[in-house]
Amino acid sequence: MTRITVTVNGAREETAVEAHESLLTTLRERLGLPGSKNACEQGECGSCSVLLDDVLVCACLVLAASVDGREVRTVESLADGSALDPVQRAFVETGAVQCGFCTPGLVVATHALLRENPEPSLAEIREALSGNLCRCTGYGQIVEAVQRAAKTMYLHGLDDE
Amino acid sequence: MTRILKSIEEFEGEVSESLVIVDGHDLPPARHDGGSPEIGRSRRRIDATQRVTGRARYTQDLYLAGMLHARILRSPHARARVRRIDTKRAEALPGVRGVLHRFNTPKTPFRGDDVIFREEVRFVGEEVCAVAADDEDTAREALALIEVDYERLPHVVDLEEALGDVAPQLESDGNVSESGSHKRGDTKRALKEADVAVDVTYRTSTQLHNALETHGAVALYDGEMLTVWESTQHVFGVRTGLKNALKLPYSRIRVICDYMGGGFGAKNGVGKYTIVASLFAMRFGKAVRCVLTRDEENLAAGNRSATLQQLRLGAKGGRITAIEHTSWSNSGQGKWIANPTGPTNTLYEVANVNTRSYKVVTNAGSLSAFRAPGYVEGAFALESAIDELAEAAGVDPLTLRRRHAGAGKDPITGNRYSDKHLLECYRIGAKEIGWDRRRAGGTRGSAPHRRRGIGMASQIWGGGGGPPAYATVHVDPDGSVVLTAGTQDIGTGTRTVLAQICADELGVELDDVRVQIGDSAGPFGPMSAGSMTLASVGPAVRLAAHDAREQLLGAAAGVLETPKAELRLEAGAIVSKGARTPLGEVLGKVDNNTVIGKGIRFPNADDLAQKTFSAQFAEVEVDVRTGEIFVERIVAALDVGRIVNPLTAASQVEGGVIQGIGFALSEERIVDRALGRVMSGNLEGYKVPTVKDVPTIVVKFVDRPDRRANNLGAKGLGEPPIIPTAAAIANAVANATGARVRHSPLTRARVLEALALAGIRD
Amino acid sequence: MTVLAGGTDLMVELNFGRRRPEHIVAIDRVGELAGIERNGHVRMGAGVTYTRMLADAGSQALAEAARTIGSPQIRNAGTIGGNLGTASPAGDTLPVLAALEATVVLRSKAGERRVPFADYMTGPKKSVRRADELIVAAEWDEAGPAQTYMFVSTRNAMAISIAGLAMVVDRARKRVGIGLGSCGPTIIRPADAEGFARGLFDEAGWERPHRPSESAAKELGRLVAAAARPIDDVRGTAAYRRHALAVMGARALSRVAQIA
């Protein structure tokens, strides 16, 4: 076991991890943050998308031991109590959620996109979400949610930052 | 008065009769005048906030104190006898709590077998042992330390190989058995007398569900109660499975499914992992988690059978006069088949029909229901063949279908349809896609090597639902409402539409209704499958809300000293001659009383056929050099009765169409014949559509209530949208290129092969 | 010692329990490996991610290859060093490195060694890299804008290529390089096709763009396909791979010849 110190959603966490453990396992099983989902463990589905030092990655492909001293943000950090952030609100309002298993990853990926590119084109949205599989909803409403979130954030800024 | 009534229900193409205990009377059909405050309104999901914040807890998210982790050792052989198992090294590993296998596990009846670990394992991935350990890693490590002595036996995994003479025979009566047939008229004569005929063979490959949440269960036993959290489409089905396997009474088993990451038919009942988790939980008195990996999911958690289908169609005078359809399905180790000839038997009014369906057993994982099982495979073949016939007869394929789609009766039973608007679906879809732009032989595409075409296909399916289903509506003294119903939300939006129905009938705001489902401690309800949840549970919810409202108005009459007839309940307030008193205020005057409304699903009429109908239209471009298909637009026009929530309904249709696109273009389980191993067992090898693979999808509903179906006028919607997609795409590809691809998915290699066969060069 | 770069390959092995190395050295934050130097010659540090290549790759074909890779999540993590380290014939940047005639720079305690890409890969997931060596960079001469990368796959995103082709026409050095991915045990250089293309440019003039005839493009495609040694696998058949290479060869020539 290796001890690491990592800032997760703004809070400093210290925990011991196995040498081969993924960040996804650490978040879900050691830090009580199961919002990032485990659906493939090979970076194919995007359900475990998180921001590592502000960069969008699949938590399942990050070695937990290597995040020592770094900063991780998960889907759990986005809402402030009952107040949803603009991306989450847009997903709710457009009906972009069905079973919801892929949703946390999509919400985080959308954040990563809009931070870099506040006015994405349709093609840019599709490119940005191409690593997040959804098996129920059908993408149309998801793309619409991103467009709506972009519009709100463009007008009002990022509520949560 | 309590009495017994007969009902007719259809589940996934099979019609059956049942007896139902009923009390009181059903409600008349709900009004459909646009005045309804909730029904027909696009409402956001009432549980969406939990899902977008990551707070929703799925089965895999439960980490209970002291929980053990179970993992399963699976057969590496397609067929073998398990002679000896040595678990000494595994059990010596620190952290390992126990190992289960065929020599130490009590009888636990499971789907026709009396054990979960069989002596003869019959597919790669079949369960051989299970380990419980303090953590997942240790359990996995222990699996590698178990020594199993296998005696390998000859196997066969491929459908067409299993049909042949040299394949090992897996059952005493061979690999092939007839599972269904239908005959009307005289197809031989009709084919002989036909002006044109086509005789064609189609194939469909095995499709894997790949719901994003894999199968799994967490079991907890406290000496009295076995509580199981499971990602399931039927908490009551899991309860029954556990009762049979473990010999516990229903009252001591509780199955819970709160949030669930999709199922698509693969999670309709108890799994071996559920029984494993429960056996360990009962042995150790601890919580035990058994959640499958993606690989295990694709080996042992079900699939849509591969099929081989032969069709002979004849036409005379511009009408279809005969259809013969013979189908073989690779059911693996499954005990049933999904019938691909279902659409052929029922979709069109054709005088002479002869169909036969065969089950073929192989050493591959069992099939399980997969969103319109059988009908997706069958519709691909039938609807492709109809286009081939139309082409041969020189008739527009939509015109040809129109001539046979207007029947008002089910051709098998002779029962009248409760309602049907298939011709209207054709009209809406044709207009939306621009069918008049379609040219025989297709048109030029956006580059010299690209061709463009339009195709369509139609669909029939059940979706009428039926009893038994129950609901209760509790109104608490503050006026807040808890709706409890026997169902679960597998992701479709069940919580939301049931809350809408409840709020609508009761006369309260949507936000005031909390929905409690996914718990076998509540009243019984059906499987969330077969497109039957809304049509089964919705009417019971409406009745329960109605019952509660009558009681509330009675109570209000007493409190307000006003005749009941002068009172109404609207938006959470008792209204009397223009004066509004909030419900909480009225109820507050009678202390801690709870008003309980009760509702059941009344029987279906036994002389009507309840069906859903739709048509899909596809526009594609095909690169004739590389064989790539670019689906540009899909239009789906559906007749599924009344739409309760257009937003969630449209999303369900889109999702179904996309799974249909996957089935049509990229999704295919690939098995190594020599070893019986699945080569595409993860999401890297098995390609489900991404956001970049999906065209514009236009969803149109006829949206007319089916007043004879049930008191809501609504029918199911889960499966209809996946049924015609692949055929519509294949027909568009044929229109674009003149080449007919008769094997789904239409991979690039298959498109090129078909182009070469048709003599088409760029 | 096991080296962890972007994690896109090794982490999968760890997650699936296929490997349990005792020690893992993560090099993703070694700044020295993350640089790109350009001065007519390109030195790309092994830690450069695909995302970085989109903006600054020192090769148009490499940028195109990076764009086809996975998803934003994968591109943010995966690196050129990782692609070289895994040495899969399906590695998307590798046909480009072959076509560029790149050099792989390996370093160990004993010092640095420079291996031409043509000698680097020895088989599927096999290379001449020794266990005590770290890949530190890939280097090549800037070859100008006449280059491209093409691939076919089973779906539009997150796809492993069924077959990939990189073509580089270095007009200044009068050199044509073609690299084929997923078409054999290693990345293949179709020598006859390269020779044929050189002949076409000799004829048309290296310094100016031209539109090759359809028959020339087809012939190039034929030669490309003939050089491939594909197999049937989960992603596609050998026959389809050959066909796709022929089409891509023809299209790549037509595209690249028209770039000045």
pLDDT tens figures, A53-74: 999 999 999 999 999 999 999 9
B261 vs A: CB within 8 A:
yes
Measure CB to CB from residue A130 to each of C7, C76, C158 and give the nearest one.
C158
As a whole number of angstroms, the distance between CA B524 and CA B518 comes to 10
As a whole number of angstroms, the distance between CA B513 and CA B525 comes to 19
- Rounded to 5 degrees, what angle do the CA atoms B93, B95, B98 make? 80
pLDDT at residue C158 in the model: 56
Contact B735, B454 (CB under 8 A): yes
Reported as type and span, the H/E element at residue A67 is none
A111 in the same domain as A59: no
Tell me which chain B residue has its CA closest to the CA of residue C17: B140
| Three-state SS at B458 | strand
C-alpha B511, offset from chain centre: 29
Contacting residues of A for C74, CB less than 8 Å apart: 43, 58, 61, 131
pLDDT at residue C154 in the model: 75
pLDDT at residue B14 in the model: 84
CB atoms closer than 10 angstroms to residue B35: 8
pLDDT at residue C156 in the model: 67
What is the signed CA dihedral for B43, B47, B51, B53, rounded to 10 degrees? Answer: 100
The topology under which CATH files domain B416-462+606-762 is Aldehyde Oxidoreductase; domain 4 (3.30.365)
Query: B340, B332, B360, B298: which is closest to C234 by C-alpha?
Result: B298
Tell me which chain C residue has its CA closest to the CA of residue B144: C17
As a whole number of angstroms, the distance between CA B57 and CA A32 comes to 12
Structural domain for A99, as ranges:
86-156
With tokens 């249709």, the residue in question is B653
Last-in-domain residue among A42, A76, A110: A76
0.95 exceeded by pTM: yes
As a whole number of angstroms, the distance between CA C78 and CA B33 comes to 58
| Three-state SS at B238 | helix
Tell me which chain B residue has its CA closest to the CA of residue A25: B136
* CA atoms B427, B433, B439, B442: torsion sign: negative
Last-in-domain residue among A34, A56, A76: A76
The topology under which CATH files domain B62-153+210-300 is Aldehyde Oxidoreductase; domain 4 (3.30.365)
CB distance C240–B748 less than 8 Å?
yes
B500 vs A: CB within 8 A:
no
C-alpha dist (Å) from residue A18 to A63, A69, B68, B100, B753: 10, 17, 18, 27, 51
When scoring B626, B670, B682, B686 by the number of chain C Cβ atoms within 10 A, the one with the most, hence best to mutate, is B626
> What are the DSSP calls for chain C, one per residue?
-EEESSSTTHHHHHHTTS---S-EEE-TT-GGGS-EEESSEEEEETT-BHHHHHH--SSHHHHHHHHHSS-HHHHHH-BHHHHHHHT-TT-TTHHHHHHTT-EEEEEETTEEEEEEHHHHEEETTEES--TT-EEEEEEEE---S-EEEEEE-SSSSS---SEEEEEEEETTTTEEEEEEESSSSS-B--HHHHHHHHHHHHHH-TTS-----HHHHHHHHHHHHHH-----BTTB-HHHHHHHHHHHHHHHHHHHHT--
As a whole number of angstroms, the distance between CA C209 and CA C206 comes to 8
* CA atoms B708, B713, B719, B724: torsion sign: positive
Rounded to a whole number of angstroms, the distance from the CA of C35 to the nearest CA of chain A is: 18
Query: A43, A54, A53, A49: which is closest to A6 by C-alpha?
Result: A53
CB distance B749–C239 less than 8 Å?
yes
As a whole number of angstroms, the distance between CA A61 and CA A49 comes to 10
Q: How many residues does chain A have?
A: 161
Domains present along chain C, CATH in parentheses:
31-141 (3.30.465.10), 147-257 (3.30.390.50)
Task: Return the CATH number at A98.
Answer: 1.10.150.120
| Three-state SS at A106 | helix
Tell me which chain A residue has its CA closest to the CA of residue B135: A29
Two tokens at A46?
């995007």
As a whole number of angstroms, the distance between CA A45 and CA C96 comes to 27
pLDDT at A75 over 80: yes
Give start-end residues of each CATH 3.30.365.10 domain in chain B.
Answer: 3-56+465-600, 62-153+210-300, 172-208+308-404, 416-462+606-762
As a whole number of angstroms, the distance between CA B305 and CA B332 comes to 8
pLDDT at residue B502 in the model: 98
- CATH class of the domain whose range is B172-208+308-404: alpha beta
Rounded to a whole number of angstroms, the distance from the CA of B205 to the nearest CA of chain A is: 19
B424 vs C: CB within 8 A:
no
Tell me which chain C residue has its CA closest to the CA of residue B661: C155
Two tokens at B558?
């007493």
Query: B21, B732, B624, B140: which is closest to B398 by C-alpha?
Result: B732
Contact B344, B377 (CB under 8 A): no
Query: C49, C67, C76, C66: which is closest to A52 by C-alpha?
Result: C76
pLDDT at residue C141 in the model: 98
When scoring B687, B691, B744, B747 by the number of chain C Cβ atoms within 10 A, the one with the most, hence best to mutate, is B687
Q: How confident is the model at residue C157 (pLDDT cuts 50, 70, 90)?
A: low
Task: Return the CATH number at A32.
Answer: 3.10.20.30
C-alpha B538, offset from chain centre: 18
A72 in the same domain as A93: no
In the stretch 27-86 of chain A, residues with CB closer than 8 A to chain C read: 41-44, 46, 49, 55-58, 60-63, 65-66
As a whole number of angstroms, the distance between CA B13 and CA B340 comes to 10
Two tokens at A93?
């309002």
C16 vs A: CB within 8 A:
yes
Two tokens at C133?
């060596």
User: Which residues have CB under 8 Å from A111's CB, separation 6+?
Assistant: A51, A78, A87
C-alpha dist (Å) from residue B445 to B634, B656, B726, C249: 17, 27, 21, 22
CB atoms closer than 10 angstroms to residue C125: 14
If you average pLDDT over every residue of chain C, what do you get? 94
C23 vs A: CB within 8 A:
yes
- Window from B580-594, C107-121, C167-181 with minimum mean pLDDT: B580-594
As a whole number of angstroms, the distance between CA A14 and CA A3 comes to 7
Angle between helices C191-204 and C238-257 (to 10 degrees): 20
pLDDT at residue A138 in the model: 83
Query: B403, B451, B322: which is closest to B762 by C-alpha?
Result: B451
A116 in the same domain as A143: yes
C72 vs B: CB within 8 A:
no
Q: How confident is the model at residue C159 (pLDDT cuts 50, 70, 90)?
A: low
pLDDT at A160 over 70: no
As a whole number of angstroms, the distance between CA A57 and CA A54 comes to 9
Instruction: Please tell me whether the interface predicted TM-score (ipTM) of this complex is above 0.90.
Output: yes
Domain membership of residue A161 (yes or no) is: no
C1 vs B: CB within 8 A:
no
Last-in-domain residue among A76, A111, A132: A76
- Residue A29 has what DSSP assignment? I
Q: What is the mean pLDDT of each run of 10 residues along chain B (762 residues)?
A: 90 88 91 83 96 97 97 98 98 98 96 95 98 96 98 98 95 94 98 98 98 98 97 98 97 97 96 98 97 97 97 98 98 94 98 98 96 98 98 97 97 96 98 97 95 98 96 95 97 97 97 97 95 97 98 96 95 93 92 92 95 98 94 98 97 97 96 94 93 96 96 96 98 98 96 92 62
CA count, 13 A, side-chain hemisphere, B257: 37
pLDDT tens figures, A120-139: 999 999 999 999 999 998 89
Tell me which chain B residue has its CA closest to the CA of residue A27: B61
pLDDT at C65 over 90: yes
Domain membership of residue A47 (yes or no) is: yes
Query: B719, B650, B655: which is closest to B211 by C-alpha?
Result: B655
A54 in the same domain as A101: no
Reported as type and span, the H/E element at residue B417 is strand B416-417
What is the signed CA dihedral for A54, A58, A63, A68, rounded to 10 degrees? Answer: 20
Q: How confident is the model at residue A156 (pLDDT cuts 50, 70, 90)?
A: confident
CB atoms closer than 10 angstroms to residue B11: 18
Query: In degrees rounded to 5, what are phi and psi of residue B325?
Result: -140, 120
Domain tally, chain A:
2
User: Which residues have CB under 8 Å from A119's CB, separation 6+?
Assistant: A150, A154
For residues C123-130, average pLDDT: 96
* CA atoms B189, B190, B193, B197: torsion sign: negative
Residues B3-56+465-600, CATH architecture: 2-Layer Sandwich (3.30)
A83 vs B: CB within 8 A:
no
Round to the nearest angstrom and report the end-to-end CA distance of chain C. 47
A107 in the same domain as A52: no
Query: C108, C85, C95: which is closest to C10 by C-alpha?
Result: C85
Two tokens at B26?
């059903």
As a whole number of angstroms, the distance between CA B307 and CA B321 comes to 25
Rounded to a whole number of angstroms, the distance from the CA of C69 to the nearest CA of chain A is: 10
A100 in the same domain as A41: no
